Chain A
Amino acid sequence: NAGVMQNPRHLVRRRGQEARLRCSPMKGHSHVYWYRQLPEEGLKFMVYLQKENIIDESGMPKERFSAEFPKEGPSILRIQQVVRGDSAAYFCASSPGTRYEQFFGPGTRLTVL
């Protein structure tokens, strides 16, 4: 089991461009969580998804951010029209169920120029 995979590991975008971050959960895990870590801050919950469903998106900014976890393929965190304040490390975690340990990916570091 390769563990949670995230790609790309580093992503550079100019202001106004779109950023797409991918997360492949561990085999057998149907629950995916996205977190953002801003400089000097802890991990902040963004969204919790199960296959084809958004369960809790209370941590997602209301505009420009969206997430999906299709039936086939990785979970995608999409940020439209990026701004400098979006620069952060974005972590994905997966688990086999709601009250289980979460397994984390290595993160994607987004830099907005």
Chain B
Amino acid sequence: AQRVTQPEKLLSVFKGAPVELKCNYSYSGSPELFWYVQYSRQRLQLLLRHISRESIKGFTADLNKGETSFHLKKPFAQEEDSAMYYCALMGGNQFYFGTGTSLTVIP
């Protein structure tokens, strides 16, 4: 069965510290992986997708097929990064979302 797991519900880091939000998936085919972000009082929006290999707002994510992971990383966290982050997998017609990780960056 397709599944996306985000093991951390809450994550707090200090400003300037590195941050990693974990995402593991299970999918029988070739998945497309995404990270979505929801800032306070805003709607869910796409942060990045693995096929584009971009760095958005300093965030990167590498698809590791061996470990079936798609962790989101940023070397130096900023206060404005505080938000809810969702990892998502696209398979067939559907998006499968993880339960989300709430990131708080402490000034």
Contacts and interface: CB of A to CB of B under 8 A. Distances in A.
A45 B86 contact: no
B96 interface: yes
Interface string B73-93: 000000000000010001011
A81 interface: no
A102 B47 CA distance: 11
Interface residues of B, number: 21
A102 B89 CA distance: 12
B28 interface: no
A62 interface: no
Chain B binding surface SS class:
strand
A20 to B, nearest CB: 21
A55 B45 contact: no
Interface in A55-113: 55-56, 58-59, 91, 93, 98-99, 101-107
Contacts of B11: none
B100 A106 contact: no
A42 B95 contact: no
The number of chain A residues touching the other chain, given as a range, is: 20 to 34
B44 A42 contact: no
A106 to B, nearest CB: 5
A93 B90 CA distance: 14
A91 B44 contact: yes
B86 A56 contact: no
A40 to B, nearest CB: 8
Interface string A38-60: 00111111001000000110110
A43 B97 contact: yes
Contacts of A91: 44
B57 interface: no
A55 B92 CA distance: 11
8 contacts: A35-B95, A42-B4, A42-B98, A43-B44, A43-B97, A44-B97, A98-B93, A102-B46
